[in-house]
Amino acid sequence: VVMTVLHAGGKFDKGSYKVSGGLHGVGVSCVNALSTHMTTNVFRNGKIYQQEYACGKPLYPVKEVGTSDITGTKQTFWPDGSIFTTTEYKYDILQARMRELAYLNKGIRITLTDRRVKNEDGTFKAETFHSEEGVKEFVRFLNRNNESLINDVIYLNTEKNGTPIECAIMYNTGYRESLHS
């Protein structure tokens, strides 16, 4: 349902997520609708489930296609050239977004694969993003080229009225602030 119906994701179920980041429940549905082809593979409970779509419509019901010892979701899509003036993605933009998502969702592992570029060994260019410390590590990354005034990141992780709050701050010698929310 989440692939074909807007606002069908788990963030709209009060018990599912405490934190979410995305496009208000329309992200993957829109990508699917604006793609000539999309394949979704879900790795869960030791099994692999798959469904393929053409122009946003399922080609067949969800089916079990194998076994796996990992959990996660793999999305592969081909943007519709009749809708977009260009279907050439900029790797650096996707790289920055995947890195940011890994920091904001600590513990998650995101792999970005660019099938347009092959390495010397013949494999596709791929990069994995993962952070165990989350926003604390993100602040260190953002401050990596600056001279820090203090060595440690000031970090707060609490909850207020059922809403989680996570904040990380680091001071440097620069005169410019960098606020990410």
Mean pLDDT of 15-28: 56
Average pLDDT rounded to a whole number, residues 167-180? 88
Contacts of 173 (CB under 8 A, 6+ apart): 146, 147, 148, 149
Q: At what angle do helices 91-104 and 135-142 cross, to 10 degrees?
A: 140
Specify the pLDDT at position 180: 78
179: pLDDT confidence band, cut at 50, 70 and 90?
Answer: confident
Q: Which tens digits make up the pLDDT trace of 33-76?
A: 899 999 999 999 999 999 999 998 999 999 999 999 999 999 89
Structural domains of the chain sorted by starting position, each given as residue range(s) with its CATH number in brackets: 1-88 (3.30.565.10), 90-132 (no CATH), 135-169 (no CATH)
How confident is the prediction for the chain on average, in pLDDT?
A: 86
**What pLDDT shows up at residue 142?**
93
- Please name the residues in contact with 77: beta carbons below 8 A apart, sequence gap of 6 or more: 31, 32, 35, 37, 38, 39
pTM: 0.75
